[in-house]
Amino acid sequence: MDNFTVGVVVFPGSNCDRDVSWALEGCLDIRTKYLWHESSDLSDVDAIVLPGGFSYGDYLRCGAIARFSPLINALYEFVKSGKRVLGICNGFQILTESGFLPGALVANKNLNFICDDVELDIVSSKGGWFNNGDEKQTIKLPIAHGEGRYHCDSDTLKKLVDNELIALRYKNNPNGSSFDIAGITNEKGNVLGLMPHPERACDETIGGTDGLFTLKSLILK
Amino acid sequence: MDQFAAKVFVRLRPSVLDPAGEATKSASIKLGAEGIKSLRIGKMIEVKIEGNDENEVREKIDLLCDRLFANTVIEDYEYSLEKL
């Protein structure tokens, strides 16, 4: 896996791209490459992270404009080929707007921008993104969002539950998300979107290491 | 080519909680306005657009609404069209 390279997408307004790159390179020794949103050549990356931030200033809706970038167009083939894509916070919003994941993320119930550490139950081991092997486990990760309330209709929720697509649930739902949902995967398991920030929990000295496993699992085949 | 003006209204679906609307309702009541039963916030988008006829323009506006202006998972839309 020496040459395994994770592409970190940079949109105008992304602000967690360097954190993701730091965590992958500095904590896990995984090579990264920044991908400008106008690039559609994904041939030399093996997995992709859509980082947090405010792509295109969150204009219209979070993630709505990013959906039309050349990179996201190219991402459809990339995902179809089975390669892994991780969307964190604004990256999760982009994945739902683009149709890679169902549902939508809307304004927090209490309208606050919430910046906190939260406890999360790992619900499903689909895709191997979490170190739980189907046993329910709890991890602690930071969140930082104003529009992180997961919303979907009841049919979609049933499908998520029945197909074990719910990856993470909040223990104490901070934002009003349906069914306490904090993160979901696609049916194949190669796409994960989550509101919490695993890249901000990769070093004991700055708040724990519960995010390491998820970033490390980008190199899974 | 004729010129048309579209006014697109995008609203959160009734089933989606609108916390900004709730906060504004609360402020409206503090201002002294009485009798407010419900208050929800949407968006209005004005588009000036060219086309050969109204049907052609409606097709374009439908596409814009469906794919960009509204996220139909959480929002409904409607629009009016006027020939300029």
ipTM: 0.84
Name the residue with tokens 């069209």. Answer: B81
Best of B71, B72, B76 to disrupt the A interface (most A CBs within 10 Å) is B71
- pLDDT tens track of chain A, all 221 residues? 568 999 999 999 999 999 999 999 999 999 999 999 999 999 999 999 999 999 999 999 999 999 999 999 999 999 999 999 999 999 999 999 999 999 999 999 998 999 999 999 999 989 999 987 777 799 999 999 999 999 999 999 999 999 999 999 999 999 999 999 999 999 999 999 999 999 999 999 987 999 999 999 999 97
Closest residue on chain B to A59 (Cα): B69
Contact A153 B73 (CB under 8 A): yes
C-alpha distance from residue B56 to each of B28, B29, B79, B82 (Å): 42, 45, 15, 13
- The answer to whether the Cα torsion of A54, A57, A63, A66 is positive or negative is negative
Residues 6+ apart with CB under 8 A from A41: A74
Q: Is A111 on the interface with B (CB under 8 A)?
A: yes
Question: Of A6, A81, A103, A97, nearest to A48 (Cα)?
Answer: A6
CB atoms within 10 A of CB A101: 25
Contact A153 B15 (CB under 8 A): yes
Q: Is A149 helix (H, G, I), strand (E, B) or coil?
A: strand
Strand partners, A137: A122
* Contact between A96 and A69 (Cβ < 8 Å): no
Helix spans in chain A (H): 17-22, 28, 70-80, 90-97, 154-162, 212-216
Maximum distance among all Cα pairs of chain B, rounded to whole angstroms: 51
Candidates A62, A89, A152, A202; catalytic one: A89
pLDDT of residue A1: 53
Q: Where are the beta strands (DSSP E) in chain A?
A: 5-10, 31-36, 47-50, 84-88, 104-106, 114-122, 137-145, 149-151, 166-170, 181-185, 191-194
Cβ contacts of B21 on chain A, cutoff 8 Å: none
Q: pTM of the entire structure?
A: 0.93
Q: Judged by CB atoms within 8 Å, which residues 16-55 of B form the interface with A?
A: 16-17, 19-20, 23
